[in-house]
Structure 1
């Protein structure tokens, strides 16, 4: 591997939003196993968790402006999923979706209003 490749995939200088979203996606994915809920709640958690984590990994490797909108949309969907998919009576699933939906949506909102930092080493440093 070249130094240039390592600079591109390095985590230095990145906003923490991608790491937070990745962790939220992983937690969401495993939440049905840990909190013991099933049905559409488990499917929603698994699918949303995988998609959120995949987007976060993609953005960690190659930053892109569309990430803010992806996180915002995925977070809002995760927030609304209990009522859209009809598992609003499953308390553990509802709270999991609400909390992690807010976390992911907040990552998108933060990206909208906080300017991104340069990736990799400063080219002007001596």
Structure 2
């Protein structure tokens, strides 16, 4: 039996629905301040529809787009205007926020990649 779209979900139901283990969902609550399910008697978690949407967004950022937890946290805090803004987020890793560099070598790799992208864009504009 499936619940209606707007119904609250327990951690077990959400876990099964999205194929994410419950301990991962609890970990994400610690890591992402924007994820705050209701806690009822006995600390039972109840995920509201906006919480479900946030979990789907976090899952997409981490597992499909390759964000780190720190990068996903930055992305979500920049989009904190509302859950609908998060759903409109870029769908590719190319649009991801850059990760913090660990030194000169990382900076030169980023610079080389940016130059490659610039050259590709210039070529595309010349052929258009």
Aligning the two structures, in what range does the TM-score lie when normalised by the shorter sequence? under 0.3
The structure with the largest alpha-carbon Rg is 2
Decide which structure has greater strand share.
Answer: 2
Greater length-normalized contact order (CA 8 Å, ≥ 6 residues apart): 1
User: TM-score, structure 2 length as denominator?
Assistant: 0.26
User: TM-score, structure 1 length as denominator?
Assistant: 0.27
Decide which structure has greater helix share.
Answer: 1
